[in-house]
């Protein structure tokens, strides 16, 4: 049910969006994470993105698994329903929620342990099914909540705070998402709000699974020298392929980048992404080339960020399932129950 | 010549076949023919975990009196599988019959002196008539049905009508099948007249009953009960629940105007994902279910706990079988009672329903969605392979059009707007069930953050021990409310006062009905009660207290139901006598009757000696 939002009276000075909401209306409970935790910056970017998009806060459902990262949905969008589910299984819970009501915006928040270790299977399957969602992996290379063990994204050879060396190869969720057919794949850094906010806005507008791997340093267990998930390392090795600007469907399209370096991409819902290419030869519609490029840069010790791949015409799971336009959770006996006369007919076929 | 068993409308025919040989549909045709003649049948598949090549059996009990349980024993064996020949021949009752393919001569050692041989040269007839090997195989099955019909006096007109209905969409096959049927029928009429003294005589004992498998009925029940989301992972014997739901949805739930589906079915990557999807959908206000069996129940444990503590409706059909994965996937058992009643970690306890036949599989399936939403908790429909995968003769399915779905306590935007206090875990009216809001209800009111238990009545984060205790105590009280709405047990008292009671549940029902009638005929009286739900209604405790000894009949090794009773009701275990049948075949009336009679006679003798 869409409820008519009434703009509230506001203190002077607090900026409001098109719906009359202030940024504060998109905030949540006070965070209990460590001061300086990358995850909090991501929450704040999400608040900013939803505020700027003028999304009715209650039209968002936030789902997560278990971990410090998965706690964060409590700390943004306090007027949205949230679900802190079980470790590694956010994708399935979100898929079910999405099947029940296709009208909401689904934010899935997870960690690298949650997505790449225990939940790798569910990550893969929600991507290949094409669930319409924003999938944010807050990637710190460790299990924060259980105090610093390596996760499956930890680099080979990286050192834990306790001194252990990781000997296993890392899983790169971005490459994996590309292979699995994700239609929107991005990587960013919790410390780079300028890049992250437009990426989140574009992801929300995208139809289909929008995967964003956000490197998000854990100040407790993985911010020491030598960690590739530390603030210093990412700042020094960040290789952004493009800069993104997001235009909602209704906005007038203006081009203020250098002609020739700007690419405008229209998404399903009519919104337009303006991409300022930082690397002239980078084509974000070529899946195979993207995979190759990522591997090359990784070998050179760089962390590639930006919108890495986009199929703007992607379909989602509901299209595949041919589900009714009206949300299933709103249907009652009238739409769902075939009635007694039909049952009499059916009985006859079993004699 | 051996003695010859004589019976009309009261005998057992068993077909021994090779899996994948196309025998299943021919055998089912045989059962339906007898039903159409007004004679009740109970049919059971005994099949391997294999697609092609291994032995499979189909047992048809013909019972003019209408006993639908498995009887045990075989009066007429249709032996079509050389691999199992010796065992099959050995299982025939003395004076019984052996119908076999006599094309190749068999040495006398392959037969029994006390069994009547009925040889029909099936392969020879086939090879004479058909060129194509596949046709030879398929029509051979129909030819033996023709032979059987002539032996047992089944009306050929009935068979022709059924074949006409079966191949309505492919009429060219009707004549071919009728021809094959006649080949067998005529051969017996010509060469083997009077060879068999087992007969079918027209009767009127079937009435308007239908012949349906429990999984099919449960899938249909989910459609009637308003389920819109089904997430599942294939596992025998539960797969056909999801398949039936799919079939019935395609037939009944496609919007005629838009061609769009009013349902969403996902074959998940595993059972963990399947139950995760169900819980996500239930959280978001859709009626959702999964169907699985023991190994799947094991994988879903963590999520069951989440749904219990976070109070999310979910329906789980557990079609029970023997464990583990390489256990007895194609054999029946009632052995997941513990695994479901206390599923998950922490202090949990769940609602279980025990349908007795396909008719109740339908109605309990539909009811389960009302219970799950009313109680905001997972509800397990505890079926088994015997009910789920065998066609049972059952009362026609019925539906009351005046019935509305009970969506439980959901607070609307209007109520929130009016200022009604909302606490997600607040018991406002004493039934221990709180109100919930669905995501997307109101822009500024009624949202909450769902997590396991670390929160207070208003869903605010809390790790206070007192908040935890307050919450889990309410969850216990909620199960007291459950008792008042779940199906009550069914009690039937003996004609005479008796110190003996019998408790049973689920697919044991037809065998129990028969055993009780026979025991009564022998002058042994017992009061019986069929348990239909857990947590147990108070009537169950009253029944136990009213008897000195209570038999508990179940199909598992560990007396799981009896132990659940002892655990929940603090009864003295000495009150109970467990009758356990767990070899993977459905329990029989003969087993129950003999076991009870033996125990009671033993007790009577003891008393006499004292
Ligand atoms: C089934 C299960 N196993 C283990 C745990 C313990 N556990 C909680 S959080 C976590 C790791 C979280 O790591 P990550 O997803 O990277 O989140 P972070 O805390 O680093 O943000 C583990 C192993 C659990 N909650 N559930
Ligand atoms: S332990 Fe690490 S991930 Fe967890 S809150 Fe602290 S900084 Fe963040
Ligand atoms: Mg982590």
For domain A23-322, give the CATH number.
3.40.50.970
* Ligand 1 neighbour A147 (Cβ under 6 A): no
Are B188 and A329 spatial neighbours (Cβ–Cβ below 8 Å)? Answer: no
Helix (H), strand (E) at residue A321: helix A317-321
What would the mean pLDDT of A161-185 be, rounded to a whole number?
94
pLDDT digits (tens, 9 = 90+) for B87-104: 999 999 999 999 999 999
pLDDT digits (tens, 9 = 90+) for A53-106: 999 999 999 999 999 999 999 999 999 999 999 999 999 999 999 999 999 999
Distance CA A284, CA B158 (A): 68
Instruction: pLDDT band for A261, please (50, 70, 90 cuts).
Output: low
Q: How far is CA A213 from the centre of its chain?
A: 8
Residue of chain A whose Cα is closest to the Cα of B265: A321
Non-local CB neighbours of B373 within 8 Å, separated by 6+ positions: B287, B313, B405, B406, B407, B408
CA-closest candidate to residue B581, choices B564, B603, B560, B566 = B560
The reply to whether residue B397 touches residue A343, judged by beta carbons under 8 angstroms, is yes
Distance CA B325, CA B271 (A): 13
The reply to whether residue A333 touches residue B403, judged by beta carbons under 8 angstroms, is yes
Residue of chain B whose Cα is closest to the Cα of A347: B396
Residue of chain B whose Cα is closest to the Cα of A122: B273
Global confidence as pTM:
0.96
The reply to whether residue A96 touches residue B281, judged by beta carbons under 8 angstroms, is yes
CA distances from A142 to A55, A111, B95 (A): 33, 9, 75
Non-local CB neighbours of B28 within 8 Å, separated by 6+ positions: B43, B58, B391
- Lowest mean pLDDT, pick from A122-136, A219-233, A265-279: A265-279
The reply to whether residue A100 touches residue B281, judged by beta carbons under 8 angstroms, is yes
The reply to whether residue B211 touches residue A81, judged by beta carbons under 8 angstroms, is no
Non-local CB neighbours of B566 within 8 Å, separated by 6+ positions: B573, B576
Q: What spacing in Å lies between the alpha carbon of A149 and ligand 2's midpoint?
A: 12
**Mean pLDDT score of chain B:** 95
Q: How far is CA A349 from the centre of its chain?
A: 49
**pLDDT score of A191 more than 50:** yes
User: B interface mutation test: which of A21, A57, A81 has the most B CBs within 10 A?
Assistant: A81
**Measured in Å, how far apart are chain B's first and last C-alpha atoms?**
51
User: Mind telling me how many Å the CA of B307 is from chain A's nearest CA?
Assistant: 9
* pLDDT computed for residue B336 by the predictor: 98
Position of tokens 């889990």?
B472
- Lowest mean pLDDT, pick from A276-290, B308-322, B379-393: A276-290
Q: What spacing in Å lies between the alpha carbon of B186 and ligand 2's midpoint?
A: 83
What would the mean pLDDT of B525-537 be, rounded to a whole number?
98
Burial (CB count within 10 angstroms: exposed 0-12, middle 13-18, buried 19+), residue A85: buried
What domains, with CATH codes, occur in chain B? 7-199 (3.40.920.10), 212-394 (3.40.50.970), 413-485 (no CATH), 490-609 (3.40.50.920)
Instruction: pLDDT band for A9, please (50, 70, 90 cuts).
Output: low
Non-local CB neighbours of B292 within 8 Å, separated by 6+ positions: B232, B233, B235, B238, B271, B274, B300, B316, B317, B318, B319
Are B221 and A343 spatial neighbours (Cβ–Cβ below 8 Å)? Answer: no
What residues in A contact B452, CB-CB < 8 Å? 84
**pLDDT score of B50 more than 60:** yes
Distance CA B267, CA B291 (A): 11
Distance CA B545, CA B552 (A): 14
Burial (CB count within 10 angstroms: exposed 0-12, middle 13-18, buried 19+), residue B592: buried
Instruction: pLDDT band for A3, please (50, 70, 90 cuts).
Output: very low
User: Mind telling me how many Å the CA of A101 is from chain B's nearest CA?
Assistant: 7
* pLDDT computed for residue A251 by the predictor: 59
Of A83, A93, A323, the CB nearest to B260: A323
- Radius of gyration of chain A, Cα coordinates, nearest whole angstrom: 21
pLDDT digits (tens, 9 = 90+) for B109-127: 999 999 999 999 999 999 9
Q: What spacing in Å lies between the alpha carbon of A116 and ligand 1's midpoint?
A: 11
What residues in B contact A84, CB-CB < 8 Å? 449-452
pLDDT digits (tens, 9 = 90+) for A120-132: 999 999 999 999 9
Q: How far is CA B598 from the centre of its chain?
A: 29
Distance CA A234, CA A312 (A): 29
How big is chain A, counted in residues?
Answer: 351
Instruction: pLDDT band for A4, please (50, 70, 90 cuts).
Output: very low
* pLDDT computed for residue B586 by the predictor: 95
Non-local CB neighbours of B145 within 8 Å, separated by 6+ positions: B26, B27, B29, B30, B33, B159, B181, B184
pLDDT digits (tens, 9 = 90+) for B344-403: 999 999 999 999 999 999 999 999 999 999 999 999 999 999 999 999 999 999 999 999
Are A281 and A236 spatial neighbours (Cβ–Cβ below 8 Å)? Answer: no
The reply to whether residue B288 touches residue A322, judged by beta carbons under 8 angstroms, is no
Which ligand sits nearest to residue A40's alpha carbon?
2
Q: How many CB atoms lie within 10 A of CB B22?
A: 16
pLDDT digits (tens, 9 = 90+) for B133-156: 888 888 999 999 999 999 999 999
**pLDDT score of A5 more than 80:** no
Helix (H), strand (E) at residue A307: strand A303-310
Of A80, A101, A338, the CB nearest to B252: A338
What would the mean pLDDT of B586-603 be, rounded to a whole number?
93
* pLDDT computed for residue B570 by the predictor: 87
The reply to whether residue B277 touches residue A95, judged by beta carbons under 8 angstroms, is yes
Rounded to 5°, angle at Cα A166 from A163 and A167:
135
Token readout for B59 is 């047992």
Question: From the alpha carbon of A40, which atom of ligand 2 is closest?
Answer: 8
**Mean pLDDT score of chain A:** 91
Instruction: pLDDT band for A10, please (50, 70, 90 cuts).
Output: low
Position of tokens 């789902």?
A63
* pLDDT computed for residue A1 by the predictor: 38
User: B interface mutation test: which of A100, A325, A341, A346 has the most B CBs within 10 A?
Assistant: A100
* pLDDT computed for residue A312 by the predictor: 87
What residues in B contact A317, CB-CB < 8 Å? 266
**pLDDT score of A262 more than 80:** no
Q: What spacing in Å lies between the alpha carbon of A186 and ligand 3's midpoint?
A: 18
Instruction: pLDDT band for B484, please (50, 70, 90 cuts).
Output: very high
Are B384 and B332 spatial neighbours (Cβ–Cβ below 8 Å)? Answer: yes
Are A328 and A100 spatial neighbours (Cβ–Cβ below 8 Å)? Answer: yes
User: Mind telling me how many Å the CA of B136 is from chain A's nearest CA?
Assistant: 29
- Lowest mean pLDDT, pick from B31-40, B532-541, B601-610: B601-610
Burial (CB count within 10 angstroms: exposed 0-12, middle 13-18, buried 19+), residue B88: buried
Which ranges constitute the DSSP H helices of A227-309? 231-237, 287-299
* Ligand 1 neighbour A146 (Cβ under 6 A): yes
**Measured in Å, how far apart are chain A's first and last C-alpha atoms?**
44
**pLDDT score of A6 more than 50:** no
Long-range pairs of B98-105 with CB within 8 A, sequence gap ≥ 24? B99/B144, B99/B147, B99/B148, B99/B151
Instruction: pLDDT band for A7, please (50, 70, 90 cuts).
Output: very low
The reply to whether residue B280 touches residue A83, judged by beta carbons under 8 angstroms, is yes
**pLDDT score of A165 more than 80:** yes
**pLDDT score of A345 more than 50:** yes
Instruction: pLDDT band for A205, please (50, 70, 90 cuts).
Output: very high
The reply to whether residue B440 touches residue A101, judged by beta carbons under 8 angstroms, is yes
Token readout for B270 is 């595993």
What residues in B contact A325, CB-CB < 8 Å? 258, 260
What would the mean pLDDT of B320-324 be, rounded to a whole number?
91
* pLDDT computed for residue B607 by the predictor: 65
Q: Which residue has the higher pLDDT, A260 or A265?
A: A265
Question: From the alpha carbon of A117, which atom of ligand 1 is closest?
Answer: 15
- ipTM of this predicted structure: 0.95
User: A interface mutation test: which of B223, B284, B304 has the most A CBs within 10 A?
Assistant: B284
Q: Which 8-state DSSP code applies to residue B573?
A: G
Instruction: pLDDT band for B252, please (50, 70, 90 cuts).
Output: very high
**pLDDT score of A275 more than 90:** no
Of B258, B261, B269, the CB nearest to A321: B261
Residue A116, helix vs strand vs coil:
helix
């Amino acid at each position: 049910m869409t409820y008519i939002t009434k703009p509230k009276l506001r203190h002077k000075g607090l900026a409001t969006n098109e719906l009359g909401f202030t940024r504060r209306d998109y905030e949540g409970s006070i965070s209990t994470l460590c001061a300086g935790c990358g995850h909090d910056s991501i929450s704040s970017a999400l608040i900013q993105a939803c505020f700027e998009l003028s999304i009715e806060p209650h039209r968002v459902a936030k789902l997560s698994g278990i971990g410090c990262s998965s706690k964060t949905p409590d700390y943004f969008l306090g007027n949205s329903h949230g679900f802190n589910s079980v470790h590694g299984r956010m994708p399935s819970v979100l898929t079910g929620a999405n099947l029940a009501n296709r009208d909401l915006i689904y934010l899935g928040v997870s960690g690298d342990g949650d997505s790449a270790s225990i939940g790798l299977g569910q990550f893969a399957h929600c991507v290949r099914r094409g669930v319409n969602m924003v999938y944010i992996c807050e990637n710190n290379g460790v299990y924060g909540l259980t105090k610093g063990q390596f996760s499956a994204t930890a680099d080979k050879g990286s050192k834990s705070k306790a001194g252990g060396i990781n000997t296993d190869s890392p899983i790169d969720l971005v490459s994996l998402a590309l292979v699995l057919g994700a239609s929107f794949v991005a990587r960013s850094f919790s410390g780079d709000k300028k890049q992250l906010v437009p990426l989140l806005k574009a992801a929300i507008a995208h139809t289909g699974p929008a995967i964003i791997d956000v490197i998000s340093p854990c100040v407790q267990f993985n911010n020491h020298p030598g960690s590739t998930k530390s603030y210093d390392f990412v700042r020094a090795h960040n290789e952004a392929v493009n800069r993104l600007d997001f235009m909602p469907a209704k906005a007038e399209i203006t081009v203020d980048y250098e002609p020739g370096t700007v690419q405008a991409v229209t998404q399903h819902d009519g919104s337009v992404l303006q991409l300022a290419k930082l690397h002239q030869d980078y084509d974000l519609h070529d899946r195979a080339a993207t995979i190759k490029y990522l591997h090359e840069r990784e070998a050179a010790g760089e962390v590639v960020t930006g919108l890495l791949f986009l199929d703007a015409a992607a379909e989602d799971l509901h299209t595949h399932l041919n589900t009714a336009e009206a949300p299933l959770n709103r249907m009652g006996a009238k739409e769902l129950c075939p009635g007694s006369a039909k049952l009499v007919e059916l009985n006859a076929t079993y004699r | 010549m051996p003695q010859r068993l004589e019976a009309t409308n009261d005998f057992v025919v068993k077909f021994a076949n090779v899996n994948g040989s196309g025998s299943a549909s021919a055998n089912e045709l045989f059962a339906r023919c007898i039903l159409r003649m007004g004679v009740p049948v109970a049919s059971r598949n005994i099949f391997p975990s294999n697609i092609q090549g291994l032995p499979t059996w189909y047992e048809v009990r013909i019972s003019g009196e209408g006993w639908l349980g498995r009887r045990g024993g075989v009066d007429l064996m249709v032996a079509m599988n050389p691999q199992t020949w010796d065992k099959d021949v050995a299982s025939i009752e003395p004076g019984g019959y052996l119908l076999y393919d006599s094309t190749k001569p068999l040495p006398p050692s392959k037969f029994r002196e006390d069994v009547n041989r009925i040889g029909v040269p099936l392969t020879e007839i086939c090879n004479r008539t058909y060129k194509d090997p596949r046709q030879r195989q398929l029509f051979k099955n129909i030819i033996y049905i023709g032979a059987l019909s002539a032996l047992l006096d089944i009306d050929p007109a009935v068979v022709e009508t059924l074949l006409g209905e079966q191949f309505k969409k492919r009429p060219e096959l009707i004549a071919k099948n009728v021809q094959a049927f006649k080949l067998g029928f005529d051969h017996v009429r010509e060469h083997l007249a009077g060879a068999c003294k087992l007969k079918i005589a027209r009767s009127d004992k079937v009435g308007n009953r239908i012949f349906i498998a429990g999984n099919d009925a449960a899938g249909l029940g989910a459609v009637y009960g308003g389920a819109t989301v089904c997430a599942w992972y294939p596992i025998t014997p539960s797969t056909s629940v999801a398949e039936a739901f799919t079939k019935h949805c395609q037939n009944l739930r496609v919007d005629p105007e838009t061609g769009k589906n009013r349902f969403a079915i996902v074959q998940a990557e595993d059972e963990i994902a399947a139950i995760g999807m169900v819980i996500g959908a239930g959280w978001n206000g859709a009626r959702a279910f999964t169907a699985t069996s023991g190994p799947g129940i094991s994988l879903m444990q963590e999520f069951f706990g989440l749904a219990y503590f976070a109070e999310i409706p979910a329906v789980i059909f557990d079609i029970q079988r023997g464990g583990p994965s390489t256990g007895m996937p194609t054999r029946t058992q009632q052995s997941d009672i513990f695994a479901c009643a206390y599923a998950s970690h922490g202090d949990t306890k769940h609602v279980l329903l025990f349908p007795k036949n396909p008719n109740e599989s339908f109605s309990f399936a539909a009811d389960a969605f009302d219970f799950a939403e009313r109680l905001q908790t997972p509800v397990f429909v505890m079926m088994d392979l015997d009910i789920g995968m065998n066609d049972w003769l059952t009362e026609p399915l019925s539906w009351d059009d005046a019935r509305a779905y009970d969506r439980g306590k959901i607070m609307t935007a209007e109520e929130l707007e009016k200022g009604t206090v909302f606490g997600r875990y607040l018991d406002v009216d004493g039934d221990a069930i709180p109100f919930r809001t669905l995501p997307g209800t109101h822009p500024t009111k009624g949202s909450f953050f769902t997590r396991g238990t670390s929160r207070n009545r208003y869903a605010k984060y809390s790790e206070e021990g007192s908040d935890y205790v307050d919450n889990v105590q309410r969850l216990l009280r909620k199960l007291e409310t459950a008792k008042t709405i779940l199906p009550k047990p069914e009690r039937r008292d003996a004609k005479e006062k008796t110190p003996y009671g019998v408790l049973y549940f689920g697919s044991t029902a037809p065998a129990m009905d028969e055993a009780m009638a026979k025991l009564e005929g022998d002058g042994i009286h017992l009061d019986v009660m069929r348990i239909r739900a857990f947590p147990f209604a108070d009537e169950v405790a009253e029944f136990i207290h009213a008897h000195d000894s209570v038999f508990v009949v179940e199909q598992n090794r560990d007396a799981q139901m009896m132990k659940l009773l002892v655990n929940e009701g603090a009864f003295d275990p000495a009150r109970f006598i467990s009758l356990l049948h767990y070899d993977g075949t459905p329990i029989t009336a003969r087993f129950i009757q003999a076991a009870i009679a033996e125990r009671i006679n033993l007790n009577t003798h003891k008393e006499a000696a004292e």
